[in-house]
Structure 1
Amino acid sequence: VSGDRAILVRVGVANQFRKYSFDACLPEDRSQKQVFQESGVTCLLDAALSGYAATVLAYGQTGSGKTYTMMGRSSSSDRTSECGDEVKRNDGLVIRAARRLFRQIGDSDGGSRISVGASFAEIFNAPGAVNECICDLLNPDAGHLQVRFSQKHGFFISDLAVAECRTLADVRAVLEAGLQNRRVNAHALNRESSRTHALPGTETLRAGNQSGF
């Protein structure tokens, strides 16, 4: 790793390197709060409130901390009814982003005209299916959903349930409900490995405008 936020990767057996740039490289002792502050998510939230679509992707091998970074870890004292609108130490990027989103809406001039909705889908390999399937974790009985495209909304999941959220506790309840329906399976590295790709999402709707995160 060089000093200008770049990494050099050796290519093949020859003494050749490729240079890849990045915004930050966070050590493993970073807290959830520090990851949120230093990962660039706050800039994406600003863009979302300006009408842009924004995405945060966690990628890595099993056990590398993807779910913990995004969703956090709940304890017996972290139930929605007891947390309210507080952010707990182990809360991940999703909850922290939602809290900042609500604060930004509250501080804006047109905050009263902005509504927030939350959804939770997963992509998984169904037995016998040719392509990966999409399930609504808030409404598992809806069956396999389809990805559509429109000029107005771009790519979206058709018929995906969206729950109106007025507080951070509402967002936390959506996450808890969705996580209860996720497909998990044990293997050598993880007793409760999520065998799917989780897609929690929020959308803000202002009169005549819509954006998503």
Structure 2
Amino acid sequence: MESTSTLSDRSPFKNQSIRVAVRIRPIIPIDGIHSYSLIDCVPEKQLVILKAEDSRGQNRQFSFDAVFDSNTNQDDIFDQSGVPELLRSVVDGYGATIFAYGQTGSGKTYTMEGFRYRPSNSRLDSGPRFRSGPVVDFNSTSPDNFGIIPRCLENLFALIDKDKDRTYCVSCTFVQIYKELVYDLLSPAAVLPDHLFVQLNAAYGSGNLRSGSSPAPPSSTPFPSAPSPSMTPLRLRWDAAQGFHLENVYAVECSSASAALHAYKVGVSGKAMRSHGMNASSSRSHALFTLKVKVSPRDCPHAFVEGRLALVDLAGCERVDRIIGGRGRDGRGRSTEASGWKKEEDVQGRDNSSKGNDVSLKQESVAINKSLFTLRKVITALAARSAQGRGISQEKEEDDDDFFTDDDDGNDGNDGNGDEDEDDDDDDDDGDK
């Protein structure tokens, strides 16, 4: 039985295994003072319209499972995109995946997490392990701006607290895929400076995070522009019992929504981030936050089912000439100076537009686009086989997408948030990731 069988009759996604919701974001300062939108939408008809650039062209329209205009707030995105129904299926022991897909700067990270970002002050924000980069400011983020992931945590534990007939054990993992390698965002070595990591081991022992402890994220944490060279990537394994899984990944037990949010913030603080010509706070990796929910009847604790929810913030597809050349979002040379984010020196307090930094950006962009291209083929195969009532092909192309496929296979409910190029921030966001 598919998890979609638990969706309510009111859900626009009932009886669908894969569905796509599109959110349009407004024009923001980084788009440039001469930018205008070629996107229109008709939410009640689930249509997105791509307007012709001149009178000689024709409008094109595309239909989706749900469409949200630029005035839609975070609360409505969560409630109306089918996420609450997916959560109910997870606590019943099914699997689900929610991911955001779109061009860099289209608003994926704002939709998924909703935290505010600011330029780094290297004198205040730098640390022994971190290179100065875009900074998350948890304290200045209003709960009203929380995205899908924080809201999932709150609503998941609300469902658990209401259920008096079953017991639950919730754990989470958080990893990023950077340049086709997987790194653990909850490992103490990943999130703590060297001297604090030593203190943590001395106080708690090296394995304590597995039973639920995690280092406290500061209110404002500088991101590494790339994983620390001392970090060891995780190895992807497969066996008949577990399918594709990561070897020795840290799993943090969470007894409440606040504990789960705490772990999530720790991981967010370690993501690979960078600024470039198209995006002030650009995710340079795919971030996968996964919740496992073990459910047992109170009168029979040895009998259990396990639900899983994968929450994925994908890095955005990019054009290398735009992110390095700083030509603006439309690629036609329109100035982005009005936003104050044209060059990396604006973000990091120094000129990082050197040849070496350009090479690093290009390498990241190639890896991002390669993995997104492969993922696109996986999703296409899933959709085709779902329509035919068949399972997903087990063809292997790339480890990254094997890991995604393990959540997206067969009996899961999957919700993709597609972010249009003119899309998915609100006006007071800094230009999304």
With structure 1 as the length reference, what TM-score do the two structures score?
0.80
Distance 1:188 1:19, change over 3 A: closer
| Runs of at least 4 residues off by over 4 Å | 1-4, 6-9, 18-21
**Correspondent of 1:31 among 53, 73, 78:** 73
Distance 1:133 1:169, change over 3 A: same
Q: Which moved more, 1:28-37 or 1:167-176?
A: 167-176
Residue 59 of structure 1 aligns to a residue whose secondary structure is strand
Give, in whole Å, the separation in 2 of the partners of 1:26 and 1:204: 30
CA offsets, 1:113-132, max 9 Å, x none? 2011121100011xxxxxx1
CA offsets, 1:152-171, max 9 Å, x none? 43332222111111122112
**Structure 1 unaligned regions, length at least 5:** 10-17, 80-86, 126-131
What amino acid is aligned across from residue 72 of structure 2 in structure 1?
R
**Correspondent of 1:133 among 149, 168, 181:** 181
Distance 1:107 1:78, change over 3 A: farther
Matched, 1:119 2:173: yes
Provide the residue aligned with 2:247 in structure 1.
Answer: 158
Alignment of 1:13-24 (within 5 A): 21-24=63-66
Distance 1:76 1:116, change over 3 A: closer
Give, in whole Å, the separation in 2 of the partners of 1:183 and 1:201: 18
What amino acid is aligned across from residue 168 of structure 1 in structure 2?
A
Shift of 1:150: 3.5
Give, in whole Å, the separation in 2 of the partners of 1:169 and 1:78: 17
CA offsets, 1:1-55, max 9 Å, x none? 787535689xxxxxxxx98642210011111111000111112111111211110
Which structure exhibits the higher relative contact order, with contacts defined as CA atoms closer than 8 Å and separated by 6 or more residues?
2
Matched, 1:212 2:308: yes
**Correspondent of 1:77 among 119, 123, 139:** 139
Which structure has the greater CA radius of gyration?
Answer: 2
Distance 1:19 1:62, change over 3 A: closer
Residue 56 of structure 1 aligns to a residue whose secondary structure is strand
Distance 1:154 1:6, change over 3 A: farther
Q: Percent identity of the aligned residues?
A: 30
What amino acid is aligned across from residue 165 of structure 1 in structure 2?
C
Provide the residue aligned with 1:61 in structure 2.
Answer: 103
Residue 145 of structure 1 aligns to a residue whose secondary structure is coil
RMSD: 2.8
Higher helix share goes to which structure? 2
Higher strand share goes to which structure? 1
Distance 1:196 1:46, change over 3 A: same
Provide the residue aligned with 1:103 in structure 2.
Answer: 158
Give, in whole Å, the separation in 1 of the partners of 2:80 and 2:279: 28
Distance 1:76 1:40, change over 3 A: closer
What amino acid is aligned across from residue 107 of structure 2 in structure 1?
G
Give, in whole Å, the separation in 1 of the partners of 2:140 and 2:274: 24
Aligned pair count? 195
What amino acid is aligned across from residue 77 of structure 1 in structure 2?
N
Residue 192 of structure 1 aligns to a residue whose secondary structure is strand
Shift of 1:142: 6.1
With structure 2 as the length reference, what TM-score do the two structures score?
0.41
Distance 1:114 1:182, change over 3 A: same
What amino acid is aligned across from residue 68 of structure 2 in structure 1?
L
